[in-house]
Amino acid sequence: MKKLILILILITAFSCGSNKKVITKKRQKTTVRTKPPVISTPKPVPTTQPKPETPTTNTTPSRNPDKVEAYIEDYSAIAMDEMKNYGVPASITLAQGILESGSGKGRLSVEANNHFGIKCHGWTGDKIYHDDDASQECFRKYKDAKYSFRDHSLFLKDRKRYYKLFQLDPDDYEGWAKELRQAGYATDRKYPEKLISLIERYELFKYDKMVLGATYSPKPKPTNINNTTVDTHIVVKGDTLYSLSKKYNTTVELLKEMNKLTNNELKIGQSLIVKL
């Protein structure tokens, strides 16, 4: 009996256990929202135009023009006019002006426009007093420098002691320089050499040529080579070895040999030995 009761209890317990509902919890799906990838567009790099190069300024000061060259530029036209009107070579006038006036910087030229140191000697115009051979000598004063150049021409032209100057050729600046000293224009023994040096250094003879044109024919000047005096010729436009050989009664071959020339080319202003 007891066994039967035990069996019934077991059956009942089993049946009750089988009727229980099994609740299964569903796992909630968690959705992870992913943001779309951000594609970063690179910002345009501003293109800066290269700055134009600033021209470099040359800080080296330019050379001041030679005061002699400046003088020549200022007064060469006046000197050529005087040569046309009175026959005094422009080269001589310019060289004397440079020498006498200190290239236009001397007191007489600055304060009195007197470029040639011409003293009063009966002058009725304005005057200036300046120490020269003696203290406070009287010098002529001009309103304009051109009148000083005119007075210089008349000074030479009208005085008898300078008459030999005008017997010389107008392109013979060397002869003029020497005769000025002989006639007493200056007491300095080296006065001719100073004038000639200025004329040749700054090629003042070219202003004589501009006035004379085709008639310009510089004289051959003696040159001392190894204690031997020779004659030289300054080449001008149109000169050839052939024409010079005829002019100086020599040959082209001898001219080339004396001047150590390898060809027949000549340059204006070139100095040639034409006679030994």
Percent of the chain with pLDDT over 70: 71
β partners of residue 232: 221, 273
pLDDT at 46: 52
Within a domain: 25? no
Within a domain: 119? yes
Q: What is the CATH number of the domain that holds 169?
A: 1.10.530.10
Tell me, yes or no, whether 249 and 209 share the same domain.
no
Within a domain: 106? yes
pLDDT at 234: 81
Tell me, yes or no, whether 123 and 202 share the same domain.
yes
Tell me, yes or no, whether 145 and 169 share the same domain.
yes
Tell me, yes or no, whether 196 and 110 share the same domain.
yes
Domain that holds residue 82: 67-215
* pLDDT grade for 55, boundaries at 50, 70 and 90: very low
Q: Indicate the range of 101-110, 112-121, 175-184, 211-220 predicted with least confidence.
A: 211-220
Tell me, yes or no, whether 209 and 263 share the same domain.
no
pLDDT tens digits for range 18-44: 554 445 455 555 555 555 555 555 555
Within a domain: 227? yes
pLDDT at 214: 83
Q: Give 275 or 270, the one with higher predicted confidence.
A: 270
Contact (Cβ atoms closer than 8 angstroms) between residue 207 and residue 215: no
Tell me, yes or no, whether 227 and 205 share the same domain.
no
Tell me, yes or no, whether 236 and 152 share the same domain.
no
pLDDT of 52 strictly over 80: no
* pLDDT grade for 49, boundaries at 50, 70 and 90: low
Within a domain: 105? yes
Tell me, yes or no, whether 137 and 270 share the same domain.
no
pLDDT tens digits for range 155-199: 999 999 999 999 999 999 999 999 999 999 988 889 999 999 999
Q: Where a domain ends, among 215, 240, 260? A: 215
Give how far Cα 155 sits from Cα of 86, 143, 158, 218, Å.
Answer: 11, 18, 6, 25
Within a domain: 148? yes
Tell me, yes or no, whether 233 and 201 share the same domain.
no
Q: Where a domain ends, among 183, 199, 215? A: 215
Tell me, yes or no, whether 82 and 179 share the same domain.
yes
Within a domain: 161? yes
Q: What is the largest CA-CA distance in the chain?
A: 193
Number of residues assigned to the chain: 276
Within a domain: 205? yes
Tell me, yes or no, whether 122 and 259 share the same domain.
no
**SS3 per-residue string spanning 150-202:** HHHHHHHHHCHHHHHHHHCCCCCHHHHHHHHHHCCCCCCCCHHHHHHHHHHHC
- Angle 172-177-181 from CA coordinates, rounded to 5°: 145
SS3 of residue 228 by DSSP: strand
Count of domains observed in the chain = 2
